[in-house]
Amino acid sequence: MAGEIVYADLRHPGESFSSAKKCHTKVATLTPALCPRWHGVLLKASALGHLILLVLVAVLSRQACAGCKLCPQNWQLHGDMCYQLSKEKGEWTRGKKGCENQESQLVVLRNEKEKEYIKNITGRGTQPVWIGLMSSHRSWMWVDHTPFNTKMFGTLQEADDGCGTLKDAMLEIDTCKGEHEWVCQKEPFQLSPLMAEGGEKCDGSI
């Protein structure tokens, strides 16, 4: 450390030391203070924490996008649809109305995997359940007005008054006045309606 230079005031000999001390005090206040070392460490740690937080937000956003479909209570999610087995029995039209009251429809089978799943949620494949299939002008039609795919499910017997059931993963015909449980189907709630990166829809399951 450089030595201090003390200038004595010859006109006031007794004040030389005190004057020098005052001068030193003024000079000292003009010298910039150095921050303690731990301040720099804390600053770096804070920057690192913010970076980690941003990474976590990005990861959690992707996870939320991977599981953004939710079914109502007592409904089951499978693929991109929600399903519910009724707790009561009734005619086909009663099942159709019961589903509509829940903003859904009698299940429309789209493939063999879906048919197997409906068999599983019934819990007992030996009992038939109503599905959204009925005869219209001796032709089979689903409740969403799509035609019945004979190549996928086989040919059904023509009927003037018939409704479709699923029994042990097999499609069967019954009179629409029969008494069976039914399976409703509806689209799930979308928790994240925003488009994911790359323009792909958020289509995971929870």
- Domain positions in the chain are 74-186
Which residues, given as ranges, of the chain have pLDDT below 70? 1-36, 38-39, 55-67, 124-125, 192-206
pLDDT of residue 206: 42
- Token pair for residue 181? 């449980």
* CA–CA gap between residue 140 and residue 154 (Å, rounded): 12
Predicted local distance difference test score (pLDDT) of residue 129: 95
Of 19, 65, 36, 56, nearest in space to 197 by CA: 65
CATH classification number, 74-186, choose in 3.10.100.10, 3.40.50.261, 3.40.50.720, 3.40.190.80:
3.10.100.10
Cα angle 201-206-74, degrees, rounded to a multiple of 5: 120
How much is the pLDDT for 204? 38
The whole-number pLDDT of residue 62 equals: 40
pLDDT of residue 34: 59
Beta strands in 49-198 (DSSP E): 69-70, 76-78, 81-85, 105-106, 129-136, 139-142, 163-167, 170-174, 181-186, 189-190
For position 126, what pLDDT does the model report? 74
